[in-house]
Each structure stands twice: as C-alpha cells, then as structure tokens.
A and B are shown apart, each in its own frame.
Chain A
Amino acid sequence: MAARPKSRLLDLEYQILEASIALERDAEPVYGFALAKWLASNRAGRDTLIGHGTLYKALARLVKMGMLSARWEELVEAGRPRRRLYDLTPDGVRAHAAMSSGVRPLALKGRLA
C-alpha cells in the first residue's frame, strides 16, 4: 500500500483545523479535550468523543506538518494538570482555506511537507 503524501490532509485533520479556527475565533484556548468536544458536536453522525490515540496522533501530525504549533500551558488552574495548547499557523490557515475551497491539498505539496 502506498504511503499517504505528507501534505495530504485527512478528513479528521481538516476538521481539527476547522475546530481550531472556530475555537480561536471565540477566543477559546485550543487543547485536546476542547477539540474532542468540538468534534463530537460538529462531526456529522458522530456525537461521541473521539479516541485519545486518534486525536493526539492527528494533532502530532499537524504539528509535524507545521499547520499547528504546540506549547505547554504556563498558568495552570489548581486541581488539574497543565494542558498542551495548540495555535494555528499561517500554513494551517492556508491548508484549511485550500481544502474549503475545493483545491486538493496535494497542490500544497513541497511547501508543507
């Protein structure tokens, strides 16, 4: 089986970018569980929370592709562990826009790989 090109977004990866855009627009922090909640309420036909492995593997890939950047929370509320926060990068915004307008993300190959 041929490997998927590195610049090619999966449906889930596209939806994570979409969730990140929506959360950032509402001035909400973007972190794993916030994305899981967003995906559960916005993915057609899927109202359950996404599996840990599925979500964090996709996030790791988006970070590796440079579409998201990750950092650890600095100010942590008492009683819970620190979160890993994600920020959309210009590449992530462009890839999302390209996919939204129907342009195959493969067109971005080379620059995003």
Chain B
Amino acid sequence: MTREPSVERAIRGVMHWCGLYTRGLPTEVARERCEEILADMADEEIWAAENHIGTRELARSIHWRAIRGAFADVLWRVSWSDMSKGFGLVCAVSWSFTFVVLFAASSSIAIAALTLARVGLASPDSVTAILVLAGVVCGLALVARNLSRWLGVLCLLGAQLLVISRGLPSIARTTTILHLMSTSGSGWTVLQLLMIGGSMLVLGSAALWWSPLSGVARKAAP
C-alpha cells in the first residue's frame, strides 16, 4: 500500500520517537512497544480511509496523538528504568555520555556562532567557526544513529578541539575580559590544555563506549 508523504512522514516521526525513548530497554520490550504503536497507526490509517478522512487530517491526528502521549511515554520509560536495576548503571553511563555530547555540541555551536558574530565572515577566523559548525552538524547526524554514534562523537571531539585551540583565542582577541585573561601569563595556556585534555578524555571515552568494540553499550545506548 502506498502512503501519502504526509502520513508516511508522520508515521516515521512517531516510530523515530518510539525508537528514541525505548533505547536501552531489553530488545523484546522495545520491539513490542514500537510494534504495537505501529499497528495502532496502521489501524488508524485504515479507519481514516473508511471514514473518508483526508490524509492531512490523518497525519495531523497521528502527530497530535504522539505529542499528547509523549509525557506518558517518558514516564513509562522511567518506570522501566526503575524496574531493570541491572540495567541501571549501563543506562546511567550512556545517558551521562549523551548529556556530555550534547553539552559539547551546544557549547561548540555557541562559541562558533559568537566567533562569527564577532569577527564577521570576511575574517580568517570565520573559516574555523564554519568548520566547527560543519563538524558539529556532521557529528550530531552521526550521533543520531546507534552504529555511527562513536564516529559522531569523534567528529564532535574534532570540532571541540578546534573551538578550544582556534575559536577561543579569536574570541579572546575581540573580547576585553578574555583578552586580559589570555595575555596575563601562562594561565590561559594551562586552561586551554586542561580543556583539550578534558575533552579528549570525556569525548574519547564516549566514543569508545559507543564503538563496536563495546558490546555492552550497544545494548543500552540511550
């Protein structure tokens, strides 16, 4: 059966959301949940066709049902986390790494955007900022998939290192307080080295955690 693109998009969106909140659960539980919701949407599609409900209205209804149930989905997921104590630590580590990765991505975007706003597109520093933004976008796209997540984290690590080594100094040149900090001795270099070391340690660990070498993480990737 061929579907209208709007309905297809709605169903894919709901399934994507389902995949997201069931990540890290035992495979059977996650599969059954997603399968049940898929069956529900297929039934709604048949019912809509029988009742001459337009495809746009159907797509809107599917989206709206998913949105209204999203909070309950999260609560359901939390209740599962509580039940599966053995899974708790693995899930906690995965979620911590997810938080770190999102923090790294958002801070890189913020600094790159600030650099662009400060130095303008004509400056050589803007190349760094654009590279960082491209790295973050590629990184997040790869992070979105389980199998390529570790590659995405490496992309983000590259962007983060560019931000620390090139982005921050270019902001420092245009910001009075940072300029004073960066020219007042070796503290700035130490701070940069610490940030580089920290990023490599944390994001490197995240990449390892999600790499194909780590079997446990794949079972519990959030």
Residues of A within 8 A of B (CB): 31-34, 36-37, 48-58, 60, 79-84
Contact = CB atoms under 8 A, between A and B. Distances in A.
B69 A80 contact: no
Interface stretch (B29-37, B99-107, B209-217): B29-37
A98 to B, nearest CB: 25
Contacts of B65: 49-52
Nearest to B75: A57
B72 interface: yes
A55 B70 CA distance: 11
A31 to B, nearest CB: 7
Interface in B1-49: 1, 14, 32-33, 35-40, 42-44, 46-47
Interface string B66-80: 111111111110000
Contacts of A60: 76
Contact of A81 (B35, B61, B71): B35
Given A81-B39, A84-B32, A53 B44 contact: no
Contacts of A81: 35, 38-39, 42
Given A32-B43, A83-B43, A84-B32, A52 B38 contact: no
B84 to A, nearest CB: 14
Contact of B67 (A31, A36, A51, A58): A51
12 contacts: A34-B43, A48-B61, A49-B61, A53-B66, A53-B69, A56-B72, A79-B1, A80-B46, A81-B42, A82-B39, A83-B36, A83-B43
Main secondary structure on A side of the interface with B: helix
Contact of B69 (A33, A52, A83): A52
Main secondary structure on B side of the interface with A: helix
Contacts of A79: 1
Contact of A52 (B32, B37, B47): B37
Given A32-B40, A82-B39, A84-B39, A53 B73 contact: yes
A54 B72 contact: yes
A19 B40 CA distance: 16
A40 B77 CA distance: 25
B38 A51 contact: no
B45 to A, nearest CB: 8
Contacts of B64: 48, 51
Contacts of B38: 81
A57 B73 CA distance: 7
